[in-house]
Amino acid sequence: MFESKRMAKVLFFILIFIGGLQFLPAVNAKEGMWIPATLKKHENQMKALGLEIPIEELYNENGGGLNNAVVLFGRGCTGEIISSKGLILTNHHCGYGSVQGLTSLKNDYFATGFFAKGLNEEIPCPGLTVTFIRKMENVTQKILPGISDTLKDAIRDSIIAGRIKGLERDYEYKTGMDATIKSYYEGNQYWVAITETYTDIRLTAFPPNGIGTFGGDDENWIWPRHTGDFSVFRVYAGANNKPATYAANNKPYDATKFFKINTSGYKEGDFTMVYGFPGTTMEYISSFELNQVYSIIDPISIAARTKKLNVWSNHMNAKRDVFLKYTSKRATVANGWKKWQGEVLGLKVNNAIEKKQAFEKGFQDWAIKNIREPYVKNILPQLQAGAAGVNDLIFQDQHIREEVFGIELIQQGVSLDKMVACFRGKFSESELRDTLQKLAKGLDWFYKNYDMETDKDVFASLMPLYMRACKQNLPLYYKEQYRKHLNSCRRWSKSVYNKSLLASSDRLLEFAKKATQADSNVLKEDPALRLYNEVAAIRKEKISPKVDAYKTIKHYLNRLYISAQMSYEEQKDFYPDANLTLRLAYGNVKGLDPDGPAGYSFQTTLGDVVALDDTTSTQFKVPSKLKELYKTKDYGRWGVNGTMPVAFIAANHTSGGNSGSPVLNNKGELIGTNFDRAYEGTMSDYLFDPNRCRNISVDIRYTLFILDKFGGAGWLMDEMSFTK
């Protein structure tokens, strides 16, 4: 029953999608991810759409702006400060890796969740950081004067790198904080970010997977969503509220700016904003580069990861300890795998390459007539020739990346290569063994989350893809080993894992303890190292030099191309591609399929979650306590007319890195936490379509309900500020 209902729903959405969603009304989506310091020029439009507060409240370099409440969480997510005591709200999947490091079979936080009952129960998270953006400033005029647009990148980059280094040093001296200068518009513009990074971060609350990853792969990148994708951490500070390494006597960060929480909800059409750190977009590339993504890179990655994820899932479902080792890795791999499928479909349905080509025809006609900058007429022909010259090499390299280096044992062959180098050093026998043991123990991080039997099956599953796709360019060693094992990758796999020192930490450490100078050949002939070195040699000798040369000229040409596009479309409001720097996007709450099944439009509820409950499924198993709260309608002060909102969608332009971003209303108050995009619009990194592109967020009321009624962490609400 469950499967048939779900299949009907999926088929409905696919039919609607392929049909082009032509019935949807116009939306107030505004394409673009804007640098906060440039928002003043958007103020009139934002107010026309519903903004009620001055722009200066969103960004203020003197410390009074909400930019001081948005943080770069870890190295690729966003978080928001939601209390004066440094409480951080972000996504469940953003905290997943850190929580895995704190989890064991005894304390299985993925199964039970974690909810601290006071500050004394919060758990330190080694290696986790959060970074505040205190100020952003356009420094283009300090970086580019005297540098010609057509100066070759090797010379240009050398001059710019020197200027950046000196300017960053000056800013750090003047501010006493960190300073990082990044390029925008492919190097046509430069901005400095003045930042403070805190390293004492502690876990406060983390829902179990039955809430935080509910729906799993089936619902990832899909609307409707039913996931409580949030987690809560806290920033701790040292003396004077400044960054400090972990110490038991550190105090919660004293936040002068934090988000007020609005619990009155929203309605379709309401103005919204997303504030965060989008990672990478490529909106202005040529059709030739886009075709590499669409026809080569994405399809290869999807096929390889489909195989890999199937193997991982089988082993994870069979053994809980394997699940705990691979759950974070699997989430990362699966996230890209599902997103790229939607991306390929979105690019196809939107005729993205054809649209690029049509634009390029008009651009080229203009470029040929351009007298002021005659070099622009050669940009597109050179980009086309460059892409054509490396497409086959990119094809080979992507297969190596996903299928050969997708096998963990081979990927770690580089570690054995470091050990081989030790035998060339002038070490005594005891010094050699001591060095080898240190290198072996240095791999503890790898073995902690590694299972040999799982990886062995990955080898048997992925290697055939590589052998077939690249049969004309295979290393001789691969051909010989394949024939030796009777053309069976499974036999070959068993042999490799039986022989390789890398397959077991005990095996590797035992070798290191007893090694002598005469044992260098044991390492050199290790099958994992041979497999690694053979493809590494092909990449180094035949692939990387040409691909790297192409990337160098492509970067040069793309810099000229986007500058020329700005001249060609003078009236267009260009925004820089995302580069993991602070941005603000704005749009409105907008359903993707208002007439679809089950009445889904712009919001889902706890009733929808419980309706999907399947006790036989790891992805759709609702925790019993959550079902009881639903049954008794025990929502506390967070419910709305007998219902509990869970997730909603809006038409804001987001990307990877926006995970965990605060979703704000017209007064800059927190109404949700961004965590995903809709499948129909995952191509927005390359093409933004306002009819299809949606960001998906956890309703803040669901977050508070889970913390309060499910997790028993109501004490956290005492430090938050609420408004209606």
What is the value of pTM for the model shown? 0.90
Taking all residues of the chain, what is their mean pLDDT, rounded to a whole number? 93
Name, of 144-158, 366-380, 573-587, the range with top average pLDDT: 573-587
Query: Length of the chain, please?
Result: 724
Three-point CA angle 560, 561, 566, nearest 5°: 100
Q: Is the pLDDT of residue 229 over 90?
A: yes
Cα atoms found within 13 Å of the Cα of residue 608, Cβ hemisphere only: 22
Answer yes or no: is 261 within a domain: yes
Q: Binning pLDDT at 50, 70 and 90, where does residue 449 land? A: very high
Residues 97 and 122 in one domain: yes
Residues 104 and 155 in one domain: no
Answer yes or no: is 67 within a domain: yes
Cα atoms found within 13 Å of the Cα of residue 135, Cβ hemisphere only: 15
Determine which one of 659, 661, 684, 697 is catalytic: 659
Query: 406: burial class by Cβ within 10 Å (0-12, 13-18, 19+)?
Result: buried
Answer yes or no: is 567 within a domain: no
The per-residue pLDDT for 264 is 96
DSSP state letter for 371: S
Residues 478 and 601 in one domain: no
The per-residue pLDDT for 334 is 95
H, E, C per residue of 255-295: CCCCCCEECCCCCCCCEEEEEECCCCCCCCCCHHHHHHHHH
Asked whether the beta carbons of 542 and 479 are under 8 A apart, the reply is: no
| Mean pLDDT in residue range 35-42 | 96
Structure tokens given for 670: 């927190």
Query: 426: burial class by Cβ within 10 Å (0-12, 13-18, 19+)?
Result: exposed
Distance between CA 351 and CA 345 in Å, rounded?
10
Q: What is the pLDDT of residues 592-637, one digit of tens each?
A: 864 444 445 899 999 999 999 998 888 999 999 999 999 999 999 9
Asked whether the beta carbons of 225 and 673 are under 8 A apart, the reply is: no
Residues 419 and 358 in one domain: yes
Asked whether the beta carbons of 563 and 147 are under 8 A apart, the reply is: no
The per-residue pLDDT for 596 is 47
Residues 78 and 220 in one domain: yes
Q: What is the pLDDT of residues 526-542, one digit of tens each?
A: 999 999 999 999 999 99
The per-residue pLDDT for 627 is 98
Query: Which of 214, 180, 184, 209 minimizes the C-alpha distance to 194?
Result: 180
Q: Is the pLDDT of residue 9 over 70?
A: no
The per-residue pLDDT for 373 is 85
DSSP state letter for 218: H
DSSP letters spanning 542-563: IIHHHHHHHHHHHHHHHHHHHH
Phi, psi of 253, deg, nearest 5:
-55, 130
Q: What is the CATH number of the domain that holds 124?
A: 2.40.10.120
Show the domain range for 150: 133-197
Q: Is the pLDDT of residue 473 over 80?
A: yes
The identity of residue 629, as a single letter, is: L
The per-residue pLDDT for 372 is 81
Report the 10 Å Cβ neighbour count for 432.
Answer: 21
- CA end-to-end span of the chain: 41
Buried/exposed 37-51: b ≥16 CB within 10 Å, e otherwise: bbbeebeeebeebbb
Overall number of domains in the chain? 3
Residues 367 and 406 in one domain: yes
Tokens 């590499």, residue located:
292
DSSP letters spanning 305-358: HHHHHHHHHHHHHH-HHHHHHHHHHHHHHHHHHHHHHHHHHHHHHTTHHHHHHH
DSSP letters spanning 462-511: HHHHHHHHTGGG--HHHHHHHHHTTT-HHHHHHHHHHH-GGG-HHHHHHH
Tell me the helices (H) and strands (E) count for the chain, helix number first.
Answer: 28, 20
The per-residue pLDDT for 18 is 38
The per-residue pLDDT for 680 is 81
Distance between CA 702 and CA 639 in Å, rounded?
8
The per-residue pLDDT for 374 is 87
Answer yes or no: is 282 within a domain: no
- 93 in catalytic set: yes
H, E, C per residue of 128-180: CCEEEEEEEEECHHHHCCCCCCCCCHHHHHHHHHHHHHHHHHHHHHHHCCEEE
Residues 532 and 432 in one domain: yes
Structure tokens given for 435: 């060095």
Q: What is the pLDDT of residues 277-330, one digit of tens each?
A: 999 999 999 999 999 999 999 999 999 999 999 999 999 999 999 999 999 999
Phi, psi of 227, deg, nearest 5:
-105, 135
Determine which one of 200, 229, 593, 608 is catalytic: 229
Answer yes or no: is 101 within a domain: yes
| Mean pLDDT in residue range 20-24 | 37
Residues 492 and 624 in one domain: no
The per-residue pLDDT for 138 is 98
Structure tokens given for 585: 């996007």
DSSP letters spanning 377-446: GGHHHHHHHHHHHHHHHHHHHHHIIIIITTSHHHHTHHHHHHHHHHHTS---HHHHHHHHHHHHHTTHHH
The per-residue pLDDT for 284 is 98
Identify the sign of the CA torsion 380, 384, 386, 387. positive
Q: What is the pLDDT of residues 64-118, one digit of tens each?
A: 999 999 999 999 999 999 999 999 999 999 999 999 999 999 999 999 999 999 9
Boundary (domain end) residue, out of 149, 180, 197: 197
| Mean pLDDT in residue range 406-428 | 94
Residues 14 and 121 in one domain: yes
Cα atoms found within 13 Å of the Cα of residue 687, Cβ hemisphere only: 27
Helix, strand, coil percentages, rounded to 5, for the chain: 55, 15, 30
Q: Is the pLDDT of residue 682 over 70?
A: yes
Distance between CA 593 and CA 610 in Å, rounded?
21
287, 291, 297, 298: CA torsion to nearest 10: 100
Name, of 26-30, 435-439, 591-595, the range with top average pLDDT: 435-439
Answer yes or no: is 560 within a domain: no
Asked whether the beta carbons of 509 and 396 are under 8 A apart, the reply is: no
The per-residue pLDDT for 139 is 98
209 or 1, higher pLDDT? 209
Answer yes or no: is 568 within a domain: no
The per-residue pLDDT for 567 is 94
Three-point CA angle 443, 447, 449, nearest 5°: 130
Residues 106 and 207 in one domain: yes
Residues 328 and 255 in one domain: no
Q: Binning pLDDT at 50, 70 and 90, where does residue 30 land? A: confident
Distance between CA 512 and CA 526 in Å, rounded?
14
Query: Which secondary structure element, helix H or strand E, spans residue 608, and what is its range?
Result: helix 606-611
Distance between CA 491 and CA 483 in Å, rounded?
11
User: Does 278 sit behind a cis peptide bond, omega within 30 degrees of 0 on the bond before it?
Assistant: no
Residues 157 and 82 in one domain: no
Boundary (domain end) residue, out of 197, 231, 253: 197
Identify the sign of the CA torsion 238, 244, 248, 252. positive
The per-residue pLDDT for 282 is 97
- The alpha carbon of residue 60 and the mean position of all alpha carbons in its chain are separated, in whole angstroms, by 27
Query: Which of 483, 469, 117, 520 minimizes the C-alpha distance to 304?
Result: 469
Structure tokens given for 392: 């086959």
Answer yes or no: is 528 within a domain: yes
What is the chain's alpha carbon radius of gyration, rounded to the nearest angstrom?
27
Q: What is the pLDDT of residues 644-664, one digit of tens each?
A: 999 999 999 999 999 999 999
**Most distant pair of Cα atoms in the chain: their distance:** 77
Q: Is the pLDDT of residue 507 over 50?
A: yes
Q: What is the pLDDT of residues 705-724, one digit of tens each?
A: 999 999 999 999 999 999 98
The per-residue pLDDT for 554 is 97
Tokens 């002598």, residue located:
516
The identity of residue 275, as a single letter, is: Y
The per-residue pLDDT for 243 is 98
The per-residue pLDDT for 28 is 54
Q: What is the pLDDT of residues 409-418, one digit of tens each?
A: 999 999 999 9
Identify the sign of the CA torsion 436, 438, 439, 445. positive
Determine which one of 42, 93, 315, 399 is catalytic: 93
